[in-house]
Amino acid sequence: MTDPVAEAPILDQTIHTYDQDRFPFVRRVRDLVGGTDLARLDRDCAVHPAPGASDQATEAHTRFYAGFDGIRGLYHDFLRAHVLPLFSGEVCVQAVPTFRVAPPGGTAVSTFHRDADFRHQPGTVNFWLPLTPAFGTNTIWVESAPDRADYRPVTVVPGEFLQFDAINLRHGNRANDTGACRVSFDFRVIPRDRFRDTGLATVTSGTPMRIGAYYTVMAN
């Protein structure tokens, strides 16, 4: 007999695909952070945080953000081709996506949470794009419905990206025992007509979550 909870559909999750020849994020990000294989980025670059430091501020993160201007055009082209068509009219998009690394033996974001608990507002839609195969304990785990806590891994590969409701669905990471790094970036989008300037800043970087800072406006 099947477990009805385990078989429950995951709400508000869609896996989209894109053409990696047109949008070569893997190669371009590999060029930014160094090394030959992002799945073994731990051999080429410090991917574990210093003791007591944020798990989102390693040498790999520094390299990504320092070089992001070099792929901003690619990111915008991707948004125009694959994300803006999912909405109508103007949308607020995260100006700089958030870079993540789940190194072997570590976690990308250690706390299971809803983004609503981290100052993000209703109407926000999350997109999560892997730059390495994401599976098992190296990927993100998401519950199937609010407060169900039946976390399951999202299995996606480069060329795919996940759309999900991170505001209401708890999600997080396990300790990565796959032996492979998971590298990814993610970004938030809110329809312009739903966006409210809350006056708040992000918990991790302190970036004001307003248009012209954390968000930029793009139109279909």
143 binds Fe ion, rule: CB under 5 A: no
115 binds Fe ion, rule: CB under 5 A: yes
Size of the site for Fe ion (CB under 5 A): 2
Write phi, then psi, for 33 (nearest 5 degrees).
-95, -15
CB of 4 to Fe ion, least distance (A): 27
DSSP SS3 for 8: coil
Select 115 or 143, whichever has its Cβ closest to Fe ion.
115
Span interacting with Fe ion, options 15-23, 46-54, 61-69, 161-169, rule CB under 5 A: 161-169
What are the Cα distances from residue 115, in Å, to 65, 111, 150? 22, 11, 17
Span interacting with Fe ion, options 14-22, 23-31, 34-42, 108-116, rule CB under 5 A: 108-116
Span interacting with Fe ion, options 29-37, 65-73, 136-144, 164-172, rule CB under 5 A: 164-172
Select 166 or 183, whichever has its Cβ closest to Fe ion.
166
Distance CA 210, CA 216 (A): 8
Crossing angle between the packed helical segments 25-33 and 59-67, to the nearest 10 degrees = 120
186 binds Fe ion, rule: CB under 5 A: no
Exposure letters 140-149 (e unless 16+ CB within 10 A, then b): bbbbbbeeee
CB of 173 to Fe ion, least distance (A): 10
DSSP-assigned beta bridge partners for residue 93: 189, 216
Write phi, then psi, for 138 (nearest 5 degrees).
-95, -5
Select 42 or 186, whichever has its Cβ closest to Fe ion.
186
Select 59 or 115, whichever has its Cβ closest to Fe ion.
115
Which residues are at the interface with Fe ion (CB under 5 A)?
115, 166
